Amino acid sequence: MIVAKGSLTGNLVNKQSIQGIINKATEYIRPTTQVKIITPTKQIQEVLPDENIDLLSKVTVNAIPDDYIIPEGQKEITENGMSDVTQYESVNVNVPIPTPNLQNKLITITENQTQIIVADAEYDGLNEVEIITNVGGENEYNTKIDTNSSYDASIGLRSLITKCENLDVSKRNTLNNFFDSCINLKNIPQLNTTNVLSMSGLFKNCKSLTTIPQMDTSNVKDMSSMFQNCISLTTIPQIDTSNVQNMNCMFNGCNLLTTIPQLNTGSVTIMSDMFRQCINLVNIPQLNTRNLYNMNGMFYMCQKLKSIPQIITNNVTSMYQTFYACVELENVPVLNTSKVTNLTQAFYYCQSLTDESINNILTMCININTSFRGIKKLTTLGFASSWCPASRIQALSNYQAFLDAGWTIGY
């Protein structure tokens, strides 16, 4: 700071405050300058000082180098290879894709082992592979496989099968998961299944199957997951189920099924998830369920099912999610719950139930087994005020007995 009285002369080399009574003063401020070196470009450049710099004292523009190229014009590339395009402003690549030379190959597999199948040296890849498998007499079958590349047969075989012929299974007593995950298989040949005792998962995940041939199933005891995730299956043939004991997940995920044939279920003990996510199923035949003890998720998300036939549930111990999200279900008969210990979410979002059906459900709660493990509230069964107001339940004839049995609505 400069404090002065009278005249003030001289040069100020830096910005400074001036205080006092000044008659005359001359102030010179020296600016901050900068030197810049610029590389030439094709575009116009505006050269300015950097931030906090007052002005430029010198600007040097370097000479254009001898190898500097201003790209111009367009180059057309029509064949594979190396091409120098530095002098062109744009490049149009138009190389035709050659048609690959693919091989149709016939392979015979005689041993149960991994086999890598590749095209011969003069070919670019595989177009079609036909495999004849002969691994023991009882497993003889032909498959037709379409593929565009080599594959590991132990991993890719099932998903690539589109056709099966001459299958001899007459000596087998089990066909468990025999066609499991043959997702492109569209037809099943006639099979001699006279000696088969188990068909668990037989057609599981056969997502392209639309029909099933008639089979002898008179000796079969296990049909669990037999048609699971057959999402294109539209009909089921009449099959003998007189000796079947396990139907767990039998039709699980059969999206297109609308009806089920009459089944002899007198020996069945397990029907859990039997019709799970059969979203287009509209009718259930009369089922003999006298030996049934597990019906967990039996009709889970059967969204078009409107009524349930009278089912004998004298031995059933669990109805967990039995009618879960059956949104169009209207009619439910009184089911025997004297041995039931689990009713959790049994009627979750069954929003179309009639008053009579809800009254029947109250009866089922009243008669529940004394060892019932859940909280005695209708909310445990999946009821909600959004689709079944408390006032509607309170107006039913069985409501007082329902309360007397220790139950409440829960909302």
Closest CA relative to residue 289, chosen from 342, 327, 241:
241
**HSE-up (13 A, CA, CB side) for residue 408:** 3
Residue 336 token pair: 């025997």
In this predicted structure, which of 126-140, 147-161, 282-296, 350-364 has the lowest mean pLDDT?
Answer: 147-161
Has residue 81 got a pLDDT over 90? no
Helix (H, G, I), strand (E, B) or coil at 262: coil
132 - beta bridge partners? 108, 142
Cα three-residue angle 395-399-402, rounded to 5 degrees: 165
Q: What is Dmax (Cα atoms) for the chain?
A: 128
Pair 179, 205: CB distance under 8 Å: no
Q: Are strands 102-109 and 125-133 parallel, antiparallel or unpaired?
A: parallel
Q: pTM (2 decimals)?
A: 0.63
128 - beta bridge partners? 104, 146
- Whole-number Å distance between alpha carbons of 221 and 212: 19
Which pLDDT band, with edges at 50, 70 and 90, does 266 fall under? very high
Which pLDDT band, with edges at 50, 70 and 90, does 41 fall under? confident
pLDDT at 39: 83
Helix (H, G, I), strand (E, B) or coil at 192: coil
pLDDT at 135: 44
66: Cβ contacts below 8 Å, ≥ 6 apart = none
Q: Which residue has the higher pLDDT, 131 or 31?
A: 31
Has residue 241 got a pLDDT over 50? yes
Looking up tokens 């005249």 gives 7
Number of H helices, E strands in the chain: 4, 12
Pair 232, 210: CB distance under 8 Å: yes
Q: Report which secondary-structure segment, H or E, holds 361.
A: helix 355-366
- Whole-number Å distance between alpha carbons of 276 and 14: 88
The average confidence (pLDDT) of the chain is 85
Which pLDDT band, with edges at 50, 70 and 90, does 287 fall under? very high
Average pLDDT over residues 13-22: 56
pLDDT at 136: 43
Closest CA relative to residue 175, chosen from 184, 188, 187, 163:
188
pLDDT at 24: 57
Average pLDDT over residues 80-97: 83
Has residue 140 got a pLDDT over 50? no
How crowded is residue 213: how many other Cβ atoms within 10 Å of its Cβ? 11
Handedness of CA 270, 276, 278, 283 (dihedral sign): positive
Q: Which residue has the higher pLDDT, 179 or 68?
A: 179
Give 283-345 as a 3 state SS string. CCCCCCCCCCCECCCCCCCCCCCCECCCCCCCCCCECCCCCCCCCCCCECCCCCCCCCCECCC
Tell how far CA 259 is from the center of its chain. Answer: 26
Q: Which residue has the higher pLDDT, 104 or 397?
A: 397
Has residue 109 got a pLDDT over 50? yes
Residue 317 identity:
T
Residue 253 token pair: 């995920």
What is the tens place of the pLDDT at every residue in 142-156? 444 333 333 333 334
Has residue 234 got a pLDDT over 80? yes
